[in-house]
Amino acid sequence: MTHTILLATNGSLGDLFPYLALARGLKALGAHPIVASNPDHVHHIEAAGFEAHGVFPTHDEVAAAHGMDVPGWTEKVRQEPLFLFQSHLDFARRSADRCLPLARRADGASATFLAVGACLAADVAGTPMVPAFFQPEGLGFWWLNDGARIAGIRDEIGLPTDAPHPLGRAIGTGAPLLGLYSPIFGEPSAKTPPALRITGAPTWQDPKAGPLDDDVARFLDDGPPPIVITMGSHLPGLVDWIYSEAARLPDSLGERVFLIGAPRAMSRDRVLARPYLPHAPIFARARLIVHHGGIGTATAAMAAGKPQVVLPYAVDTWDNARRLMDMGISLNLPAQDFTVDSATTVLRRQLGSERAERRARVYARRLAQEDGAGTAARLLLDSIGAPASRAPV
């Protein structure tokens, strides 16, 4: 029997890619994964070969509902982290209605905290739900402050309002909580829920990604390894000044720079810019990786075995940045303090750190031993009583 598993997530690509890796792990064990996210992510899901559904709101929709553009909404999230959850909660009822047919098809489900609608739909359908978290700070449950509001939505759709956890009945019922991140970032402790199972990082590399285009390959081949700088996919339009300042670094540092997330027009002598590229093949060719501190980007940089400089900006990036610095592989520079002068000082210090290079290689070897996607897939199937089997070749 093929078990159908609903994977529901929303947010940035960093919130999608771990679930694509989990979907791959489930498929390898003979299950049929359905991936639900927002419409902007559907093409990524379909390109990976999985059934895709765009049921959750896009960043544009969430921002517009509050009379903002995406940069303005992101800035408010930076100032008030709880607003990230509150603004998505406006769409919970709509998302629950859209998820319900998928939940009824599924034998089990997993969802992240921005996919509240999937948790509600699973409750209505009676589908076992296994919540997932992508970083240690996600376990803080700081969105519980809106428990009364969630209870009101549950009441509207005929669900009991005294669930063990406002997001659904999974939390507190003995079902595992999947920590979809490397234990390098933090082992379970007395402060974490007893049901937490840290699986290791479910890293995603697009199996259909083609070779690097000629300009990118030429840039990487025609000089020493560059400093790679990326601010992720969650801060569009809000960190343009960082890329503008970073494009001046060749003059102050004498190093080449590769910008991922910046328009092509920013390319010039010793600077190459691309709006999007898979991280793994570029990070592998980097001398140093500068990023915003998202857990997915941080893990990819760790996997590449390169020293890092983190520019924390909002929500979990501050906690991730602290953990990376404690490991001895990163220095931190708050994003709002980034200028060509401040960056030159910090980057020069990190470029000269043999300790950071040595420790980065150590952590890369440790990370390579993890099978986060496979471990998470087995835990998920076991939790719903679905024995894993190998998919036919």
Q: Residue 247 is part of a domain; what is its CATH number?
A: 3.40.50.2000
Given a contact cutoff of 8 angstroms between Cβ atoms, the answer to whether 185 and 135 are in contact is yes
- Same domain for 166 and 278, yes or no, is no
CA-based torsion, 102, 42, 48, 382: positive or negative: negative
- Position 241 scores a pLDDT of 87
- Same domain for 315 and 358, yes or no, is yes
Per-block mean pLDDT, blocks of 10 residues, the chain (393 long): 93 91 96 97 94 96 93 85 86 95 97 91 93 76 62 87 60 75 86 84 77 91 96 71 94 96 93 93 97 93 98 88 96 95 97 96 97 96 73 42
Q: 385, exposed or middle or buried, with CB in 10 Å at 0-12, 13-18, 19+?
A: exposed
- Same domain for 257 and 183, yes or no, is no
- Same domain for 146 and 291, yes or no, is no
- Same domain for 137 and 185, yes or no, is yes
- Same domain for 141 and 114, yes or no, is yes
β-strand 129-133 against 4-8: which pairing, if any? unpaired
Question: Is residue 72 in a domain?
Answer: no
- Position 163 scores a pLDDT of 64
- Position 287 scores a pLDDT of 97
The count of structural domains within the chain is 2
Question: Is residue 174 in a domain?
Answer: yes
Question: Is residue 238 in a domain?
Answer: yes
Enumerate the β-bridge partners of residue 132: 178
Given a contact cutoff of 8 angstroms between Cβ atoms, the answer to whether 29 and 377 are in contact is yes
- Same domain for 172 and 117, yes or no, is yes
- Position 392 scores a pLDDT of 43
pTM of the model: 0.90
SS (H, E, C) the chain: CCCEEEEECCCCHHHHHHHHHHHHHHHHCCCEEEEEECHHHHHHHHHCCCEEEECCCCHHHHHHCCCCCHHHHHHHHHHCCHHHHHHHHCCHHHHHHHHHHHHHHCCEEEECCCCHHHHHHHHHHCCCEEEEECCHHHHHCHHHHHHHHHHHHHHHCCCCCCCCECCECCCCCCCCEEECCCHHHCCCCCCCCCCEEECCCCCCCCCCCCCCCHHHHHHHHCCCCCEEEECCCCCCCCCHHHHHHHCCHHHHHCCCEEEECCCHHHCECCEEEECCCCHHHHHCCCCEEEECCCHHHHHHHHHCCCCEEECCCCCCHHHHHHHHHHHCCEEECCHHHCCHHHHHHHHHHHHCCHHHHHHHHHHHHHHHCCCHHHHHHHHHHHHCCCCCCCCCC
- Same domain for 294 and 340, yes or no, is yes
Enumerate the β-bridge partners of residue 4: 32
Question: Is residue 61 in a domain?
Answer: no
- Position 108 scores a pLDDT of 95
Q: Both tokens of residue 351? A: 């470029």
- Same domain for 146 and 282, yes or no, is no
Question: Is residue 316 in a domain?
Answer: yes
- Same domain for 39 and 169, yes or no, is yes
Residue 326's domain spans which residues? 214-368
- Position 387 scores a pLDDT of 58
Q: Both tokens of residue 340? A: 């060509």
- Same domain for 232 and 125, yes or no, is no
Question: Is residue 79 in a domain?
Answer: no
Question: Is residue 68 in a domain?
Answer: no
Place of tokens 């076991």: 382
- Same domain for 111 and 246, yes or no, is no
Question: Is residue 75 in a domain?
Answer: no
Distance of alpha carbon 18 from alpha carbon 13, whole angstroms: 9
